[in-house]
Structure 1
Amino acid sequence: MYHSVFLLLLMGRAVLSQDIEVCSKTVINSCSDCIQSGPYCVWCKQLNFTKPGEQEAARCDTRAVLNDRGCMNEDIISPNNILTTDKNVTLSTSTNPTDDPIQLAPQKISLKLRPGLPKTFQLDFRRVEGYPVDLYYLMDLSYSMEDDLRSIKTLGNQLFEALQGITKEGRIGFGSFVDKTVLPFTNTNPEKLKKPCDEKEENCQPAFGYRHVLSMTADKVKFKEEVQKQAISGNLDSPEGTLDAIMQAAVCGDRIGWRNSSTRLIVVTTDDGFHMAGDGKLAGILEPNDEKCYMENQLYSKSSVLDYPSVGQVATQLEKNNIQPIFAVTKNMEPVYRELSKMIPKSEVGVLSADSNNVVELIKTAYNRLSSKVTVTHDPLPDNVRVTYTPLCPEGGPPGEKGVCDNVGVGQKVSFSVTVTANECLEREMSFRIGPLGMKDKLNVSLSTRCECQCDDPPGQDNPDCNGQGKVNCGMCSCKDSFVGQKCECSVKGMDVSSLKAACQKDNGTECEGRGDCVCGVCQCYAIQGGLTYYGTHCECENESCEKFQNKLCGGNGKCRCKKCECNADYEGSACQCKKSDEQCRTQEGSVCNGRGTCQCNQCKCIEGYQRPYCLDCPACQSPCITKGKCIECLGFQTGPFSKNCSQACKSINSFEMVDMLPLGKPCDVRDVENCRVFFNIKQLVGEDNYTAQILKTRECPELPNIYAIIGGSIAGVALIGLLILLLIKAMIYMNDLKEFRKFENEKKKSKWSNADNPLFKNATTTVANPTFTGE
Structure 2
Amino acid sequence: MDRRLLLLLLLMMEHNALCQQQQTCTKSVVNSCSDCIRSGPFCAWCQKLNFTKPGEQEAVRCDTKDQLKQKGCDDEEIISPFNYPDITKSVPLSMSFKNEEPVQMSPQKINLQLRPGLPQTFRVAFRRVQGYPVDLYYLMDLSYSMKDDLQKIKELGNDLFAALKRITRHAQIGFGAFVDKTVLPYTNTNKEKLAKPCDENDQQCQAAFGYRHVLSMTSEEREFERKVAAQFISGNLDSPEGSLDAMMQAAVCGDKIGWRNSSTRLIVLTTDAGFHMAGDGKLAGILEPNDEQCHMENGLYVKGSEMDYPSVGQLAAALEKHNIQTIFAVTQNVESVYEKLSKIIPKSEVGVLSSDSRNVIQLIQRAYNSLSSKVTVTYDSLPDNVRVVYTPICDNPGPTGDSRGVCNNVPEAQMIYFDVTVTVDSCIEDKSFTIRPLGIKDTLTVTLSTNCKCPCENSEDKAHPHCSQNGSIICGICSCNAGFIGQFCECVIGDKDETSLRASCQRNNGTECEGRGDCVCGRCQCHNTESGSSIYGEFCECDNDQCEKFKNKQCGGNGDCDCGICKCYSDFEGSACQCKKSDEACRTSDNTVCYGRGSCVCNRCVCKEGYQPPLCKTCLGCPDPCQTKLNCIECLAFGSGPFETICSMECRNTKVEKVDQFTLTTKECQQKDSEGCWIKFRLDQLVGEDNYRAEVLKQRECPEPPNVAAIIGGSVVRITFIGIVMLMLIKVLLYMKDLEEFKKFENEKKKSKWREADNPILHTATTNMANPTFTGE
TM-score (norm 1): 0.76
Letter in 2 for 1:524: Q
Contact 1:242 1:275 in 2 (8 A): yes
Summarize the Cα distance change of 1:623–1:348 in structure 2 as closer, same or farther, 3 Å threshold.
Answer: closer
Corresponding position of 2:318:
317
Residue among 53, 56, 77 paired with 1:54: 56
Where does residue 141 of structure 1 map in the other structure?
A: 142
The residue number in structure 1 matching 2:668 is none
Q: Is structure 2 residue 242 aligned with structure 1 residue 259?
A: no
Q: Which residue of structure 2 aligns with residue 488 of structure 1?
A: 489
Change (3 A) 1:315 1:565: same
Give the drift of 1:251: 1.0
CA deviations over 1:412-452 (Å, ceiling 9, x no partner): 322222221112222x2222111211011111111121111
* 1:60 partner amino acid: C
Distance in 2 between the 1:302 and 1:104 partners? 39
Q: Secondary structure at the match of 2:536?
A: coil
Contact 1:102 1:441 survives alignment (8 Å): yes
State the distance in 2 between where 1:90 and 1:47 align.
50
Alignment of 1:696-735 (within 5 A): none
How big is the shift at 1:347?
1.3
Alpha-carbon separation, structure 1, partners of 2:128 and 2:262:
13
Residue type of the alignment partner of 1:29: N
Q: Which residue matches 2:248?
A: 247
The aligned runs of 1:189-228 (5 Å cut-off) are 189-228=190-229
What's the counterpart of residue 91 of structure 1? 93
> Is the CA contact 1:241–1:275 (under 8 Å) kept in the aligned structure 2?
yes
Q: Residues of 1 paired with 2:302 and 2:237: CA distance? A: 20
Equivalent position SS for 2:183: coil
Q: Which residues of 2 match residues 508-587 of structure 1 at below 5 A?
A: 508-531=509-532, 533-584=534-585
Seen in structure 2, the aligned counterparts of structure 1 residues 170 and 612 have a Cα distance that, compared at 3 Å, is: closer
Aligned equivalent of 1:350: 351
Contact 1:116-1:421 at 8 Å conserved across structures: yes
User: CA contact under 8 A between 1:79 and 1:450: conserved in structure 2?
Assistant: yes
Distance 2:386 2:636 in 1: 79
Displacement of 1:145 = 0.8
* Corresponding residue number in structure 1 for 2:466: 465
CA RMSD, 1 decimal: 4.1
Corresponding residue of 2:46: 44
Question: What are the ranges of 5 or more consecutive residues in structure 2 without an aligned counterpart?
Answer: 1-15, 638-643, 664-682, 695-777
Offset from partner CA, 1:552-603 (integer Å, 9 cap, x none): 4323322322222122221112222221234455678877678887544345
CA drift of 1:35 comes to 1.5
Q: Cα deviations across residues 695-725 of structure 1 (Å, max 9, x unaligned)?
A: xxxxxxxxxxxxxxxxxxxxxxxxxxxxxxx
8 A contact 1:104–1:124 mirrored in 2? yes
What does the per-residue CA deviation read over 1:752-775, in whole Å, with 9 as the maximum and x for residues that have no partner? xxxxxxxxxxxxxxxxxxxxxxxx
For residue 88 of structure 1, report the CA deviation from its aligned partner.
Answer: 1.5
Provide the rounded CA distance (Å) in 1 between the counterparts of 2:163 and 2:645: 117
- Where in structure 2 are the equivalents of 1:323-342 lying within 5 Å? 323-342=324-343
Secondary structure, aligned partner of 1:238 = coil
Distance 1:195 1:608, change over 3 A: closer
| Residues 383 and 433, structure 2, Cα contact 8 Å, conserved in 1 | no
Q: Is the 8 A contact 1:280 1:286 kept in 2?
A: yes
User: Which residue is 2:375 aligned to?
Assistant: 374
Aligned mates of 2:134, 2:613 — CA distance in 1: 94
1:126–1:414 Cα contact (<8 Å) kept: yes
With 439-448 and 568-577 compared, the bigger mean Cα shift is at 568-577
Q: Give a deviation string over 1:479-527, Cα, whole Å, max 9, x none.
A: 2232222222222121254443333222332222222222222222232
Maintained 8 Å contact 2:383/2:432: no
* One-letter amino acid matched to 1:127: R
Q: CA deviation at 1:290?
A: 2.2
Describe the shift of the 1:145–1:536 C-alpha distance in structure 2 as closer, same or farther (beyond 3 A): same
Letter in 1 for 2:413: G
Matched, 1:453 2:454: yes
CA 1:689–1:96: 2 relative to 1, 3 Å: closer
Task: Please tell me the residue identity of whatever aligns with 1:82.
Answer: Y
* Structure 2 counterpart SS, 1:417: strand
* Counterpart amino acid of residue 402 in structure 1: R
**Residue equivalent to 1:128:** 129
SS state at 1:363 partner: helix
The residue number in structure 2 matching 1:25 is: 27
Aligned to 1:711: none
Do the aligned partners of 1:512 and 1:518 also contact (CA within 8 Å) in 2?
Answer: yes
Alpha carbons 2:572, 2:580 under 8 Å: kept: yes
Structure 1 counterpart of 2:766: none
- CA–CA distance in 2 between the matches of 1:630 and 1:497? 70
Distance 1:130 1:617 in 2: 94
C-alpha distance in 2 between matches for 1:537 and 1:511 = 11
Q: 1:631 to 1:28 in 2, by over 3 A?
A: farther
1:490 and 1:362 map into 2 onto residues whose CA distance is 86
**Distance (whole Å) between structure 1 residues aligned to residue 278 and residue 688 of structure 2:** 81
Contact 2:251 2:324 in 1 (8 A): yes
User: Which stretch shifts more, 396-405 or 371-380?
Assistant: 396-405
**Conservation of the 8 A alpha-carbon contact between 2:215 and 2:224:** yes
Partner of residue 180, structure 1: 181
Query: Which of the residues 60, 63, 66 maps onto 2:65?
Result: 63
Distance 2:592 2:397 in 1: 88
Q: Paired residue for 1:728? A: none
Question: Which one-letter code corresponds to 1:228 in the other structure?
Answer: A
Q: Secondary structure at the match of 2:456?
A: coil
Q: 1:115 corresponds to which residue?
A: 116
The 3 A distance-change label for structure 1 pair 224 and 49 is: same
- Partner Cα distance (2:158, 2:298) in 1: 28
Structure 1 gap segments, 5+ residues each = 1-13, 633-638, 667-681, 694-776
Kept in 2: contact 1:173–1:256 (CA 8 A): yes
CA offsets, 1:207-246, max 9 Å, x none? 1111111111223222222112111001112211111111
For 1:338-417, what aligned pairs fall within 5 Å after superposition? 338-396=339-397, 399-400=400-401, 401-417=403-419
Moved more, 198-207 or 164-173: 164-173
Question: Is the deviation greater in 401-410 or in 430-439?
Answer: 401-410
Equivalence map 1:665-680=2 (5 Å): none
The equivalent residue for 2:157 is 156
User: For the residues of structure 2 that align with 1:592 and 1:398, how far apart are their CA atoms?
Assistant: 72
SS in 1 for 2:250: helix
Superposed displacement of residue 165, structure 1: 2.4
The residue aligned with 1:74 is 76
Q: Is the 8 A contact 1:390 1:397 kept in 2?
A: no
How much has 1:664 moved relative to structure 2? 8.8
**Cα-to-partner distance string for 1:609-655 (whole Å, 9 max, x where unaligned):** 988888899977998997999999xxxxxx9899xxx9xx99x99xx
**Take 2:92 and 2:381, find their aligned partners in 1: how far apart are those partners?**
27
Alignment partners' CA distance in 1, 2:327 and 2:684: 99
Q: C-alpha distance in 2, partners of 1:315/1:333?
A: 19
Deviation at 1:197, TM superposition (A): 0.4
Describe the SS at the equivalent of 1:455: helix
Q: Does the CA-based 8 Å contact 1:135-1:267 persist in structure 2?
A: yes
Structure-2-length-normalised TM-score: 0.76
Tell me the distance in 1 between the aligned counterparts of 2:340 and 2:221: 34
Once residues 420 and 381 of structure 1 are traced to their aligned partners in structure 2, the CA distance between those partners, rounded to angstroms, is 11
Aligned CA distance change for structure 1 residues 623 and 241 (closer, same or farther; 3 Å): closer
Counterparts in 2 of 1:406 and 1:601: CA distance versus 1, 3 Å: closer
Task: Provide the C-alpha distance between the structure 1 equivalents of 2:611 and 2:414, rounded to a whole number of angstroms.
Answer: 91
- Secondary structure at the residue paired with 2:318? helix
Cα distance change on mapping 1:155 and 1:43 into 2, 3 Å: same
1:315 and 1:169 map into 2 onto residues whose CA distance is 27
Contact preservation (8 Å) 1:110, 1:445? yes
Partner of residue 771, structure 1:
none
3-state DSSP of counterpart to 2:23: coil
- Counterpart for residue 740 of structure 1: none
Contact preservation (8 Å) 2:431, 2:449: yes
Which letter maps to 2:284? A
More moved, 294-303 vs 62-71: 294-303
